[in-house]
């Protein structure tokens, strides 16, 4: 959550308020029912919801949740560069989102004018950078606010900015598995998707926790 406040609750019994700078990490696994409600906020509310696809062997693992406050997120600061480390490790600093099924990196990167930032992609990692403040040259391509730069496996990430820049840098190792996506449910085949929606209709979707009887979002991935 960049700016704003959101109340949340889920079928595992977790509830609370996500405030500016906070992060929530939910592993949907075998299925979770989750609701969010924005609270009144003086200013523009901004935030991101990003998905990580679980490998087939872990699709039906028990769901889990963790809330992380902004004070728990370490930052690397040097020479006009500030990197908030959410997940993964950079320069010996490790993010608070750990014990993940998929090896991912989530960095919130802010560069001052005239700065350059490089980050190697290890092995079969792919990277993306979503710019939400300023602009910069990713390789030789100028990317501005609300645009995304994609990098292939093994590409070295490099960006420079003339006027200042802030972006999310996300990387992960490719699963090389088929993806079947239907609304808020991600599986590996259309047949698995059909089973998940059938369970939802029959009231057997939730395998752990309790059902939340409200207007809600539901997830499985």
* pLDDT in single tens digits along all 221 residues of the chain: 999 999 999 999 999 999 999 999 999 999 999 999 999 888 889 999 999 999 999 999 999 999 999 999 999 998 899 999 999 999 999 999 988 898 899 999 999 999 999 998 777 788 999 999 999 999 899 999 999 999 888 788 999 999 999 999 999 988 999 999 998 899 999 999 999 999 999 999 988 765 444 444 666 65
Contacts for 38 with CB less than 8 Å, ≥ 6 apart? 4, 5, 6, 7, 45
DSSP 209: S
Determine, yes or no, domain membership for 2.
yes
Task: Give the pLDDT of residue 199.
Answer: 93
Task: Kindly state whether residue 23 falls inside one of the protein's structural domains.
Answer: yes
State the Cα–Cα distance between residues 184 and 121, nearest whole angstrom. Answer: 29
> Domain for residue 125, yes or no?
no
Residues 42, 116 contacting (CB under 8 angstroms): no
CATH number at residue 212: 2.60.120.10
pTM of the model: 0.89
Contacts of 54 (CB under 8 A, 6+ apart): 27, 29, 61, 101, 102, 186, 221
The structural domain count of the chain equals 1
Q: Is 59 within the bounds of a domain?
A: yes
145 found inside a domain: no
124-166 residue pLDDT tens: 788 999 999 999 999 899 999 999 999 888 788 999 999 999 9
How many Å apart are CA 221 and CA 56, to the nearest integer? Answer: 9
Domain assignment of residue 161, yes or no = no
Q: Which domain holds residue 52?
A: 1-74+182-221
- Residue 219 placed within a domain: yes
Q: Please check whether residue 220 lies inside any domain of the structure.
A: yes
What mean pLDDT value characterizes the chain? Answer: 91
């Amino acid at each position: 959550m960049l700016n704003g406040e959101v109340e949340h609750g889920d079928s595992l019994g977790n509830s609370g308020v996500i405030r500016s700078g906070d992060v929530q990490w939910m592993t949907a696994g075998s299925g979770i029912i989750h609701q969010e409600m924005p609270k009144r906020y003086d200013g523009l509310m901004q935030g991101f919801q990003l998905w990580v696809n679980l490998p087939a062997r872990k699709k039906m693992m028990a769901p889990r949740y963790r809330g992380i406050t902004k004070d728990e997120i370490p930052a690397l600061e040097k020479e006009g560069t500030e990197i908030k480390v959410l997940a993964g490790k950079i320069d010996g600093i490790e993010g608070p989102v750990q014990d993940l099924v998929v090896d991912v990196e989530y960095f919130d990167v802010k560069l001052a004018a005239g700065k350059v930032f490089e980050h190697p992609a290890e092995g079969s990692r792919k990277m993306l950078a979503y710019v939400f403040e300023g602009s910069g040259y990713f390789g030789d391509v100028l990317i501005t606010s609300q645009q995304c730069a994609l990098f292939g496996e093994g590409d070295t990430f490099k960006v420079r900015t003339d006027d200042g820049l802030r972006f999310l840098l996300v990387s992960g190792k490719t699963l090389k598995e088929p993806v079947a996506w239907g609304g808020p449910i991600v599986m590996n085949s259309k047949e698995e998707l059909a089973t998940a929606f059938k369970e939802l209709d029959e009231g057997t979707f939730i395998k752990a926790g309790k059902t939340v009887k409200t207007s809600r979002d539901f997830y499985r991935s």
